[in-house]
Structure 1
């Protein structure tokens, strides 16, 4: 009998990787049921997209109401008020005591591409500095900025030029904040004059790179460097945004405002929409027609985004993210005596991770990490791995997960980690 996996393999290019062979039939909040009727607890949330849960009633109501009015006009042809209102909301909500402006796109990669375009146009410079382990998308500029070769860059030919990488400050892997800043200083002295740099782009918490948070004080130092040399500081909040870290935006933890912020994922609550918000004078630099896109700021995505922002406020999801993350990290910490492979437990809010090494060694253990993921899946819990070495499990459950379901998931996680030890 031909299975769905057989059909997928015959019809879809293998470059579209799949973490599981679960074919979704329906989903509700933090649970997914597959075509065979099996139930799973979702600790992936579509990679931090449904922070407000699958099919949140308020988000669904907003999308249905918009469906009854219109689904597409292209804002650049026939604009609509909801686009304007969402831009106004983000301008108010983003950190920074200065005038801001916003544009919308469809994906996180598009948001990053537009941020770089805007920074280059505003500064008249070309170079962009990014960080090892960072992830910024699969487009050519996104790939060039991304600091991970496999699977994102391998075999795709020359990357976009004038992109430079620094080591990301990660004390667990021997890179201090001072080391990263000294590497930036060496770059400016040996290879790249700062007067050629349009932007420095950084994730406040690396996503695909391993859920490593920028150390305290590092953002302020980057801000100072950018101010000294007239460089645009871009914060990539595609994965960190919208209450995931216990703040609406992760930059709020650092008391520093970026010049430009990229957003997507959690903004739409399951609908495709992304945004770029920044200093008004920077955002206004490109000429009319230089920014935009046919589907940019689609009315359904805009309607969903308004509802998502309402839900985050009404349900106090920033506070809930902090509480959920504390419970998860406490549960993982209780396993450390039994599981010497655990080398680190981390993450702000409910953007958490556990990292595994070979027991007693400073050697990443991707095999053990994958066994944990597989054991959890057998028991009905969807987990994602990440990290340059593939030895990190990241936790991205919806912030709206019911307490009883969360407790069930923690029990499954316990059992899966212990089972992975054999």
Structure 2
């Protein structure tokens, strides 16, 4: 009996120590980077500990999972307390812009949707929701959504940047080498866009995708026909809508797709200069558009390597611009500048470049003329881009040749 007690006294501490070592080893293994199980996660991102879909360099900051707390599958709508909003990370050495959210610490904000207890989920499910239209004279039941102004709410599903719509197509778009003199070698022409990155072509009007689109049963007219409404030296160019299943009689004009023709006067890019020829059929003359304001030139700041996560390696931060091609820096103001991006009031014949509202467009890209989601340096080759911008800002001083050669307006 005494021998049994002696053996038990010797074996129990050894067994307890072995269990603790096994638990530590298990916890360490659970904290090590492993291939991410998150659908759509970048290939080089990992799951580690309680973090999901994060860069491997972040894993050292992630709390380790334990055997009693199994890895949970990501949820499309994480639930949690309202106190678990993403906040700037308090981890020493955490990259700038990373946040703490739910069980994750020091992660990109886009990873919060996979963190247990994070709220709300990120990224958002879409763009801007329809809002009551602020356009003077717009019917009370019409709304603004995405790039469309003063349209029926049912039209928002076809408006770029609208939260009710579907993200732009991701099919391969036929491209051709750019014939623009001085255009970078890797840039292409596609649709109405000239000298743009190939990834931009999916948002270029007129660029046909490689897949076969469904037939347009509602539009029986020839889609090549255009309609012009002329007033006070400017005219609106519209055409039968090319959007599948768009209601009959709706048109495409400027950046608007599938809208009533009466809404074209508020669509950026729909107005082009023309010879005054008022017609008696015009019931109500539309006032002449106000030219876009021209910002005061600001000295170009020195570019520096971009600190924006996932920014292309050769892109820069300069002044108020983040993650842009280096030629774009000549139009970026200083660090402390409060100069806003010019936005013309509707209707505008040639809107100034503005941050792109296309879902998935790289940060720092712009909408200008018929081009949507392009580097600002490409705006000089986009049909319908602001003449004031092309003349005054291609070289930052007096409207001489652009950074890649003579301008083609």
Q: Under a length normalisation based on structure 2, what TM-score does the superposition of the two structures give?
A: 0.23
Q: With CA pairs under 8 Å and 6+ residues apart, which has the higher RCO, 1 or 2? A: 1
Q: Under a length normalisation based on structure 1, what TM-score does the superposition of the two structures give?
A: 0.23
